[in-house]
């Protein structure tokens, strides 16, 4: 179980993701959580930085799809703004919405990265399908109490798993001579 909660990569934000490196891994699809990953949970606008990032990712050949547990109106609006397909009411970590997203952007698990701020929805869901999972720090602390509760459990799980991951990453970097 703990294995399934472990992201392949842990970064401060989407802007810290090395897209070129993902490409070299064969990743062509980015399945993106919306709230607290791309925008603050109470925010109704996409920032310039976000629009630019999405644009860049597209230019590099990535196909993007939003997958959110939030309501259709909000998710669809962001999908339109960013000009990417969107799946709402996703019920993550259930697999159905992730499968639908991969269908929409025509990718398969081994060519898809799932990116989100929550271990128990984004990471668990992505790992269940054997996608490449990337955990980002949540953009805001103003969250529903249920999410806050989940965070506490995450903290119990994460430190140990992250430590192991970092050691594995360092070892693989050393053996491949790559820079972080």
Residues binding Mg ion (CB under 5 A): 33, 35-36, 117
Tokens in use for 106? 């025509």
CA gap 128, 43 in Å, rounded: 30
Strand partners, 101: none
Pick between residue 108 and residue 120 the one whose CB is nearest to Mg ion.
120
| Cβ closest to Mg ion, residue 139 vs residue 169 | 139
- Provide the 8-state DSSP code for 117: S
- At its nearest, how many Å lie between Mg ion and the CB of residue 97? 13
- Among 41, 2, 34, 30, smallest CA distance to 153 is for 2
> CB 51 → Mg ion: shortest distance, Å?
19
Identity of the residue, 70 or 111, whose beta carbon is nearer to Mg ion in the bound complex: 70
Q: At what angle do helices 48-59 and 72-82 cross, to 10 degrees?
A: 60
Q: Nearest CA to 9 among 139, 133, 177, 137?
A: 133
Residue nearest to Mg ion (CB): 36
Q: Least CB distance from residue 92 to Mg ion, whole Å?
A: 9
In whole angstroms, the minimum distance from the beta carbon of 107 to Mg ion comes to 21
> Cα–Cα distance between 46 and 160 in angstroms, integer?
34
Q: Which is nearer to Mg ion, 20 or 44 (CB)?
A: 44
Q: Which is nearer to Mg ion, 60 or 140 (CB)?
A: 140
DSSP label at residue 135: E
Which stretches of 52-166 are assigned E, i.e. beta strand?
63-67, 86-87, 112-116, 132-136
Per the CB < 8 A criterion, the answer to whether 106 and 63 are in contact is yes
| Minimum distance from residue 69 beta carbon to Mg ion (Å) | 8
Nearest CB to Mg ion, comparing residues 139 and 162: 139
Question: Nearest distance from residue 61's CB to Mg ion, in Å?
Answer: 25
């Amino acid at each position: 179980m703990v294995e399934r909660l472990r992201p392949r990569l842990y970064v401060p934000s989407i802007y810290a993701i090395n897209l070129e490196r993902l490409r070299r891994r064969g990743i062509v699809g980015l399945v993106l959580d919306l709230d607290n990953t791309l925008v603050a949970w109470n925010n109704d606008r996409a920032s310039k930085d976000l629009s630019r990032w999405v644009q860049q990712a597209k230019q590099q050949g990535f196909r993007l799809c939003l997958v959110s547990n939030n309501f259709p109106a909000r998710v669809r609006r962001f999908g339109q703004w960013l000009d990417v397909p969107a799946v709402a009411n996703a019920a993550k970590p259930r697999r159905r919405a992730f499968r639908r997203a991969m269908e929409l952007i025509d990718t398969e698990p081994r060519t898809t990265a799932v990116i989100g701020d929550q271990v128990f929805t984004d990471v668990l869901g992505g790992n269940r399908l054997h996608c490449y999972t990337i955990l980002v720090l949540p953009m805001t602390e103003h969250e529903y109490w249920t999410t806050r509760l989940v965070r506490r459990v995450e903290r119990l799980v994460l430190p140990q798993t992250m430590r192991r991951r970092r050691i594995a990453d360092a070892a693989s970097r050393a053996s491949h001579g790559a820079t972080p």
